[in-house]
Amino acid sequence: MESRKKIAIEKHDLGYNCAQSVALTYADLVDMAPEQLFKITEGFGLGGGNMQGTCGAISGAIALIGLLNSCGDLEHPSTKAQTYALGREILERFKAQNGSVLCHELKGVGTGKVLRSCPDCIMDACQLFEELYEAKLRQ
Number of CB atoms found within 10 A of residue 42's CB = 14
Which amino acid would we find at residue 65?
I
Is the CB of residue 90 less than 8 Å from the CB of residue 61?
A: yes
pTM as predicted: 0.94
What are the angstrom distances between the C-alpha of 133 and each of 6, 13, 38, 93, 109?
18, 25, 20, 14, 32
Average pLDDT score over residue span 72-86: 96
Q: Using CA of residue 72, residue 84, residue 19, residue 3, what is the dihedral sign?
A: negative
pLDDT at residue 76 tops 90? yes
- Read off the pLDDT of residues 2-31 as tens digits, 9 standing for 90 and up: 889 999 999 999 999 999 999 999 999 998
Average pLDDT score over residue span 55-77: 96
